[in-house]
């Protein structure tokens, strides 16, 4: 069915365009900001004379670090969320209590407070005593290179691990509720059918319940994945060199406040919007396969 453009649509678009022009005018007249876009490209890419090619500069390094951090946060959040989500619907009293305590505790603490508490406790009381960072520093150059590509350079490994774990634990609390709701949405008859043919509880979960629940939870789960990307900016407070942290460093050294934050906004938008399109296409394919 062809969608017609109504007069109200034209009016609203005109008003939005007028508002954008007015805001741009007020910024130029009132703030009188001296735009310096010419300095931004050097913080995106720079020419490396030794390699004779362009390499990532400050902002783009932060962008890649945000991607790494988001991927590990999503992986950890999924593992924790699926485990706790299953415990939420099991009959065991201890498992249900532990899962509910975890969700209630994490979801009712501001994320920045959660990051600080986890960083100062986890880093100083556990990671430092385990000597993970020191062990990586004393390892072979090849192993250090792998760690750098998968995580971060050894000098900042403790901060990265703390950030990824705190992000995964935080997102896992929301994924827990998504998984629980998805499992609860499966009719009771599906459980009874699995039991009637002699399947164990584990096999009922694996072959009957979870495949059906996966389709139900994918839309909210995709939204949570995108939220993880945006939430990764929180760890900038513990000096993990992700996009927001690197942006503040560039802003402090160049005073190009608007230019820096506009670029950071666009990079976050490109990343999240691309993920949104990919999830939308995946959902359409799953629906078409049914």
Instruction: State the DSSP string of 93-123.
Output: HHHHHHHHHHHHHHHTS-HHHHHHHHIIIII
pLDDT of residue 2: 54
Q: Is 219 contained in some domain?
A: yes
Domain residue limits at 101: 58-289
C-alpha span between 125 and 246 (Å, rounded): 27
Tokens at residue 152, please? 């971060």
87: Cα separation from own chain's centroid: 24
Q: Is 70 contained in some domain?
A: yes
pTM of the model: 0.86
Q: Is 46 contained in some domain?
A: no
Strand positions, DSSP E, the chain: 45-48, 53-56
pLDDT, tens only, 249-289: 999 898 888 899 999 999 999 999 999 999 888 888 877 77
Q: Is 30 contained in some domain?
A: no
**Mean pLDDT value of segment 187-198:** 80
pLDDT of residue 103: 92
pLDDT, tens only, 59-81: 999 999 999 999 999 999 999 99
Q: Is 42 contained in some domain?
A: no
Q: Is 19 contained in some domain?
A: no
pLDDT of residue 3: 64
The mean pLDDT of the chain is: 86
Count: domains in the chain: 1
Angle between helices 111-118 and 157-184 (to 10 degrees): 130
pLDDT of residue 44: 93
Q: Is 3 contained in some domain?
A: no
**How many CA atoms does the CB half-sphere of 271 hold within 13 Å?**
24
Q: Residue 108 maps to which CATH number?
A: 1.10.3720.10
Whether 224 and 171 have beta carbons less than 8 Å apart is answered as yes
Q: Is 24 contained in some domain?
A: no
**Mean pLDDT value of segment 41-49:** 89
């Amino acid at each position: 069915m062809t969608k017609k453009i109504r007069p109200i649509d034209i009016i609203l678009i005109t008003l939005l365009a007028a508002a954008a022009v007015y805001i741009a005018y007020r910024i130029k007249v009132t703030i009188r900001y001296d735009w310096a876009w010419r300095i931004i490209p050097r913080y995106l890419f720079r020419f490396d004379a030794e390699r004779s090619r362009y390499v990532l500069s400050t902002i783009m390094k932060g962008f890649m670090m945000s991607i790494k951090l988001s991927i590990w946060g999503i992986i950890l959040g999924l593992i924790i969320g699926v485990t706790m989500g299953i415990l939420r619907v099991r009959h065991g009293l201890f498992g249900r209590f532990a899962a509910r305590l975890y969700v209630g505790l994490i979801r009712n603490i501001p994320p920045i407070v959660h990051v600080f508490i986890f960083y100062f406790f986890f880093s100083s009381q556990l990671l430092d005593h385990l000597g993970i960072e020191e062990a990586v520093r004393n390892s072979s150059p090849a192993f250090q290179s792998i760690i750098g590509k998968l995580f971060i350079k050894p000098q900042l490994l403790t901060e990265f691990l703390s950030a990824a774990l705190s992000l995964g634990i935080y997102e896992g609390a929301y994924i827990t509720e998504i998984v629980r709701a998805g499992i609860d949405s499966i009719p009771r008859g599906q459980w009874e059918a699995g039991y009637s043919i002699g399947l164990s509880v584990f096999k009922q979960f694996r072959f009957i319940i979870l495949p059906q629940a996966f389709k139900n939870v994918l839309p909210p789960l995709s939204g949570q994945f995108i939220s993880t990307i945006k939430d990764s900016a929180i760890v900038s407070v513990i000096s993990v060199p992700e996009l927001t942290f690197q942006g503040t460093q560039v802003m402090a050294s160049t005073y190009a406040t608007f230019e820096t934050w506009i670029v950071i906004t666009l990079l976050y938008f490109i990343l999240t919007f691309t993920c949104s399109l990919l999830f939308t296409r995946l959902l359409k394919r799953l629906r078409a396969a049914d």
